[in-house]
DNA sequence: CATTCAATTGAACAATTATTCAATCATACT
DNA sequence: AGTATGATTGAATAATTGTTCAATTGAATG
């Protein structure tokens, strides 16, 4: 049983009409939705979300977001309960994903949340109460 | 070497002052940042982000978002190149995370993106061009 | 009530990921 | 030059995740 057959049965069931044109029209609409949904930005978005989808990394971005300024690694490392090495790996992934930026200052390294990171966190904060 | 010692050296290096009060004041500020960053919503947020951090699941939410209405599983399944079983697992995770809702209609199942899902996708769309 | 079909569930396995340890790089200080 | 320190890197391993297959549920239909 092909997937278009199932769709055909669904449309017949749902709308009474079971003509071939109705099926192919809905198929065309769905193709359009698919095209709009699956742009080239999809991989980049999934990359960003994967970078945020971890407690250590999310907390780093949160801290930098709340701080509102660049922070030295040595300032936020004590707030995280993993090794320095793990923190460094996390910072590297977050930088690659475009969520934070790095600046050198002597032997210290300072990180700051990007506008993109702030936008996502603000959206999360603003939608947390929504029930639907 | 404790982490507060490193912070102490950093503050001495950065600001000249190396008094104990300056260190403990900065520590207090950082604790406050930590408290603001690590609320109880953190786990929920990471859960939501983990649910979105996968191509199949992200694409489902994108499709439902673009569609702007509820869709039958049989309508969007053909747009995804994984098994029906994988789709069902994905739908279950997305529902748990609060990104989609489910409604039964006869033997069909219809899903819709939640307001929270829409908010996050809009933030991603709106911030994609930002360079910093 | 037996059958068909849409969708879901659970078990299994492959693939990916998160963390740590050890070593290294880079900068400053003596 | 030699040493100390902040941070990063790579390799190894444990833990988690994503998908499929097989079996099941629940609703409609003959």
The ipTM assigned to this model is 0.93
Q: What is the largest CA-CA distance in chain B?
A: 73
Residues 11-30 of A with CB under 8 A from B: 13-14, 26, 30
Q: What DSSP state is assigned to residue B40?
A: T
Render pLDDT for B52-71 as a digit per residue (tens, 0 to 9). 999 999 999 999 999 999 99
CATH top-level class for A43-126?
A: mainly alpha
Render pLDDT for B87-126 as a digit per residue (tens, 0 to 9). 999 999 999 999 999 999 999 999 999 999 999 999 999 9
The nucleotide closest to B55 (CA, C1' atoms): D18
C4 C1' to B73 CA distance, Å = 18
Residues B91, B85: Cα–Cα separation, whole Å: 10
The answer for residues whose C-beta is within 8 angstroms of residue A37's C-beta and 6 or more apart is: B59, B62, B63, B65, B66, B79
Per-residue b or e along A85-110, where b marks 16 or more CB atoms closer than 10 Å to that residue's CB: eebeebbebbeebbbbbeeeeeebbb
The answer for residues whose C-beta is within 8 angstroms of residue A26's C-beta and 6 or more apart is: A7, A11, B75
Place of tokens 């604790």: B31
Query: Do A59 and B38 lie within an 8 Å CB cutoff?
Result: yes
C14 C1' to A77 CA distance, Å = 35
Residues A7, B75: Cα–Cα separation, whole Å: 6
Residues 55-94 of A with CB under 8 A from B: 55, 58-59, 62-63, 65-67, 72, 74-79
- Predicted local distance difference test score (pLDDT) of residue A3: 75
Render pLDDT for A41-91 as a digit per residue (tens, 0 to 9). 999 999 999 999 999 999 999 999 999 999 999 999 999 999 999 999 999
């Amino acid at each position: 049983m092909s997937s278009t057959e199932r769709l055909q049965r669904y449309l017949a069931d749902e709308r009474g009409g079971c003509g071939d044109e109705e099926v192919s029209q809905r198929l065309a609409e769905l193709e359009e939705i698919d095209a709009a949904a699956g742009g080239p930005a999809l991989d980049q978005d999934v990359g960003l979300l994967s970078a945020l989808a971890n407690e250590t990394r999310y907390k780093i971005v949160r801290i930098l977001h709340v701080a509102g300024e660049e922070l030295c690694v040595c300032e936020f490392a004590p707030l995280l309960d993993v090794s320095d090495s793990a923190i460094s790996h996390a910072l590297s992934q977050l930088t690659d994903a475009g969520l934070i930026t790095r600046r050198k200052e002597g032997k210290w390294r300072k990180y700051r949340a990007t506008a993109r990171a702030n936008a996502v966190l603000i959206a999360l904060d603003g939608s947390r109460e929504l029930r639907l």
